[in-house]
Amino acid sequence: MMKLDKLKHTHTNNFFLMAGPCAIEGEDIALRIAERIVELTDKLQIPFIFKGSFKKANRSRVDSFTGIGDEKALKILQKVSQTFDVPTVTDIHESTDAAMAAAYVDVLQIPAFLCRQTDLLIAAAQTGKYVNVKKGQFLSAGSMKFAVDKIKDAGNNNVILTDRGNTFGYQDLIVDFRGIPEMRSFDVPVVMDCTHSLQQPNQTSGITGGKPALIETIAKAAIAVGADGLFIETHPDPKNAKSDGANMLPLDLLEDLLKKLIRIREAII
């Protein structure tokens, strides 16, 4: 199992990967996705954290999929971890989620829209787990120093920052790659979210769009400028995924992408 305390030193080795489906849809599909990613990352020697949301609280439409049940989904994440001996990450949305989720997963993720919520950050920090904070679409990279400070001031130095683009107009995002070295200067691992940064939010249909054809472009650029890790949502059938299918990488394309990224990583270290 990848030791999470080694994340701070990944700049001397390979990048690490947070990957999995947007949401936990069921046990069979979660295990199938995890098995394939573990197979690839073991072969390519990429440290891996399995990602899956136990619930989706931020939906545009009231009839959008939000989850299969909190405890049921968290138990599936725990089973993935136990079956494949890998750490897991899931997002939390309320302070009361922190302790509950921490009983099942290794990393608590703070969604971008909530990255300034002091009570939520402190509750996550107090679990002692790693806390991955996604940079708000509305914030500069430099502003994330305050999120890091809140978590460290609560007694937890296990912080990761993840960039997921900046709001660009009403229905698009753009990535400012200057933010990766700036956030790395805070002495925390920095991740590039290669899928959510390609979202096209606030569509008139109430369903978020995306540009998955550019996932490779974002990932290559992030590795080139020194990202410690990558966040990639992936699914064997994105068109039929229950959440964020428009942004996800088809699972059968992951191996080729990772091989290209390893070559870039080798060229810059």
pLDDT of residue 139: 97
pLDDT, tens only, 44-85: 999 999 999 999 766 555 446 667 899 999 999 999 999 999
pLDDT of residue 209: 56
pLDDT of residue 58: 64
Q: Find out whether 135 and 183 touch, Cβ atoms under 8 Å.
A: yes
pLDDT of residue 247: 83
For the chain, the average pLDDT equals 90
pLDDT of residue 211: 74
Residue with the bigger pLDDT between 167 and 209: it is 167
Q: Find out whether 138 and 128 touch, Cβ atoms under 8 Å.
A: no
CA–CA separation, 264 and 267 (whole Å): 5
CATH code of domain 4-268: 3.20.20.70
- When pLDDT is cut at 50, 70 and 90, the band that residue 1 belongs to is very low
pLDDT of residue 10: 47
Q: For the chain, what is the radius of gyration of the CA atoms?
A: 17
Model confidence, pTM: 0.91
Alpha-carbon dihedral of residues 193, 33, 39, 132, nearest 10 degrees?
Answer: 30
CA–CA separation, 132 and 152 (whole Å): 13
pLDDT of residue 38: 98
